Structure formats: C-alpha cells, structure tokens
Amino acid sequence: QVQLQESGPGLVKPSQTLSLTCTVSGGSITSDSYYWSWVRQPAGKGLEWIGRIYASGDTNYNPSLKSRVTMSVDTSKDQFSLELSTVTAADTAVYYCARVVTGNKWYIDLWGRGTLVTVSS
C-alpha cells in the first residue's frame, strides 16, 4: 500500500526558504501512472494547489506562487521536494504532498497526512 509522508521544519523565519520533502513508500515515484503534487491549506481556509512534478523533473506551478516555488524529485530515494522562498506569515499552512493520477483529466487519489509549517520569527 503506497503511503506519502511529508517531512521538514515546522517553523521557518520570515524571508527564509521553506523546504519540505515527501517520501513515497510502498511504490515507485517513477511509475508512469502518476505524478506528484503539493497542496497547502491555511488554518480554517480552503485548499491551494502549489504545483506538480513528474518523475522526469518536468514541473507546473500555480502562477500566483511560481516566482517563489521550486519542486524537485530524487528518484533514487523515491522522494520529491518543495522549496518556497521569501516566506511570510501568509505562507503559514498545512502542506500536503499528494499523488496525481496521470491523464488529461488528472486527479489526486492519495494524500499525505500533512505537515504544519509556521512562518514566524
């Protein structure tokens, strides 16, 4: 059974870079059937799609975050990562990593449990 697990610092200072890693267990990140995504959710608010990455390294980002987001993948470790630069308090949220079923009509079929990242000095 495939599982996703987010890891990374729970506290980041303003103006610094938020870095998170998602480890895929029970399956391979290089499967042709899937690619990988990050979604975040501020406390009490809705979901915001951050972007997606293929095992090849190709990416698509939310235009509103594109200038600050970098996603990468490490196929040798079955991990993919998120970096969000120049963070502010508005970036405080639960960050989820997720598996996306490929195809034109793609969708997220598996989520990590989420990790809370707080931006504060």
Binding site for other proteins (CB under 8 A): 37, 39, 46-49, 52, 60-63, 96, 101, 104-109, 111-114
By the 8 A CB rule, do 75 and 29 touch? Answer: yes
The residue among 40 and 79 lying less far from other proteins, judged by its C-beta, is 40
The residue among 12 and 39 lying less far from other proteins, judged by its C-beta, is 39
Quote the least distance from Cβ 7 to other proteins, whole Å: 15
Quote the least distance from Cβ 101 to other proteins, whole Å: 8
Cα 84 → chain centroid = 10
Quote the least distance from Cβ 15 to other proteins, whole Å: 27
**CA angle, residues 60, 61, 64, in degrees to nearest 5:** 155
Rounded to the nearest 10°, the torsion over CA 47, 57, 106, 43 is: -10
**CA angle, residues 44, 48, 54, in degrees to nearest 5:** 145
The residue among 26 and 121 lying less far from other proteins, judged by its C-beta, is 26
